[in-house]
Amino acid sequence: MSQSQQENQCQQVLERLREAPLTQGEAWEIGVARLGGRIFDLRDQGHIINTEMVTVKNRRGGKSRIARYWLIRERSA
């Protein structure tokens, strides 16, 4: 992935986090395959993002734990 693609994905994730929490499945719908990587990048830029582990029902009817990310505060300019 090029640097500009990575920056574009970070911007997409940040815009989505401004509206609501985000999970990997939701990130996939906006074209971001590696949400954890983009969260790492955004945190490295100074954004404060919380991770909450939640239990969800998986496709087989069992339980799975996934990360839900919340934007707490954007970096100071």
Q: Confidence class of residue 2 from pLDDT cuts 50, 70 and 90?
A: confident
* Cβ pair 36, 20 in contact under 8 A: no
pLDDT value of residue 43: 98
List the structure tokens of 28: 């996939």
Q: What is the CA radius of gyration of the chain?
A: 13
| pLDDT tens sequence across 5-58 | 999 999 999 999 999 999 999 999 999 999 999 999 999 999 999 999 999 999
DSSP state of 34: -
